[in-house]
Amino acid sequence: MHKFFSHLPINLGNGLPVAVLFMAVIALMTVRVFQSLFLHATPQELRRADIWTLGLLVLFVVLIVLRFLAYAYA
C-alpha cells in the first residue's frame, strides 16, 4: 500500500485538476438550479444533470484524497 501511494505523482499538488473539477461541479449545479427554477426542466433532464454532477463530484473527492495520500507517503 505504502509503495503504491509513494508512487503517486506529487504534482497532483499543483492543484489545477482539483480547481478545474471544483469549478465544473459548481457550474453544473448552477445550471441545474436555473434549469429547475426558470426553464421548467423535465425530471429526466434534471436526473441527467444530477448524474453528471455526481460523477464529477466523485472524481473531485477522489483527487483530493489522492492529493492527501501523495503528500502523506511522499
Binding site for another protein (CB under 8 A): 13, 15, 18-19, 22, 25-26, 29, 32-34, 37-38, 50, 53, 57, 60-61, 64, 67-68, 71-72
Least Å from the CB of residue 41 to another protein: 13
Helical spans, DSSP H, in the chain: 2-6, 16-37, 43-72
Nearer CB in complex with another protein: 7/74: 74
Give the number of C-alpha atoms closer than 13 A to the C-alpha of residue 60, restricted to the C-beta side. Answer: 14
Q: In the complex with another protein, which residue's Cβ is closer, 7 or 54? A: 54
Q: Nearest-CA neighbor of 19 among 55, 52, 53, 63?
A: 63
